[in-house]
Chains A and B, each alone.
Chain A
Amino acid sequence: KQEVTQIPAALSVPEGENLVLNCSFTDSAIYNLQWFRQDPGKGLTSLLLIQSSQREQTSGRLNASLDKSSGRSTLYIAASQPGDSATYLCAVRLRKYGGATNKLIFGTGTLLAVQP
């Protein structure tokens, strides 16, 4: 059974710091991995999606890496800003019958607070 874990559960950093959020998964047979941002009481915003054949994806100050063999992904945020404060969720899409399933398995998230 696929389990997705995110460490730390909460993180507080001063503005301007670079930071790394971690995501680990138990079954390496994934199709892709997606990072989301969730503001309090809001829906999820997709940040980055990494296919299982890729090692990393970048969007602006965000860089996500994937090491499928070790079951790990990281989300790197450069030069953090107070507006980055939110809960960050990672989710894996399982591989099944040679293709992708419709199911995302979510981690419980990392609550990030960037202090001005």
Chain B
Amino acid sequence: SQTIHQWPATLVQPVGSPLSLECTVEGTSNPNLYWYRQAAGRGLQLLFYSVGIGQISSEVPQNLSASRPQDRQFILSSKKLLLSDSGFYLCAWSVLRLGNNEQFFGPGTRLTVL
């Protein structure tokens, strides 16, 4: 069966500090991978998605970047955090199967920027 891991679970960082959030998927190969942000009182917003190693699509202009160094590893980064980067970050994976492309989500990382 497939599992998805995210770490850390929670993070408190000062403004201007760097960020690295990691997501890994087990039990599947060549998945599509996604980073979402859920801000307080707002819906989930897709930040990045990747269809393969080194292939990153950005959905919204922002202070963050993403990388996919390995097939089942997706990393969200920032060189200098802003207050507005606070939120709940969710990683998800999908595999196009039977035309479905159903997405499955990780447990999330709660980021607070002070």
Contacts and interface: CB of A to CB of B under 8 A. Distances in A.
Interface in B43-100: 43-46, 49, 51, 57, 59, 88, 90, 92, 94, 96, 99-100
Nearest to B92: A44
Contact of B100 (A36, A42, A44, A49): A49
B13 interface: no
Q: Is the interface of B mostly helix, strand, loop or mixed?
A: strand
B34 A89 contact: no
Residue picked from B6, B102, B106, most chain A C-beta under 10 Å: B102
Contacts of A65: none
A28 interface: no
Interface of A: 4, 31-32, 34, 36, 41-46, 49, 51, 89, 91, 93, 100, 102-104, 106-109
The 3 residue pairs across chains A and B that have the minimum distance between CB atoms: A44-B105, A106-B44, A43-B105
29 contacts: A32-B101, A34-B103, A41-B108, A41-B110, A42-B107, A42-B108, A43-B6, A43-B106, A43-B108, A44-B90, A44-B92, A44-B105, A46-B103, A49-B100, A51-B99, A89-B43, A89-B44, A93-B101, A100-B96, A102-B34, A102-B51, A102-B94, A102-B101, A103-B49, A104-B44, A104-B46, A106-B45, A108-B42, A109-B43
